[in-house]
């Protein structure tokens, strides 16, 4: 068990990395949805 604890200590808080990755994904998804909504309202998606 001491090896696992020391490896976690060296690696740093894994939850912080997960939070940063999740936030980046949310920002990308939201910007995509907003872009599609703006394009749709501007009539760029209709042929």
**pLDDT score at 44:** 80
Residue 21: predicted pLDDT: 97
The confidence score (pLDDT) of residue 10 equals 56
Residues 45 and 36 sit within 8 Å (Cβ to Cβ): yes
The list of the chain residues with pLDDT below 70 reads 1-12, 46-47
Residue 12: the pLDDT is 65
pTM: 0.55
Count of CA atoms in the C-beta half-sphere (13 A) of 38: 6
Where in the chain are the domains? 15-47
- pLDDT given for residue 43 in this prediction: 83
The distance in angstroms from the start CA to the end CA of the chain is 62
């Amino acid at each position: 068990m001491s090896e696992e604890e020391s490896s976690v200590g060296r690696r740093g808080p894994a939850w912080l990395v997960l939070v940063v990755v999740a936030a980046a994904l949310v920002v990308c998804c939201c910007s995509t949805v907003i872009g599609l909504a703006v394009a749709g309202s501007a009539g760029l998606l209709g042929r």
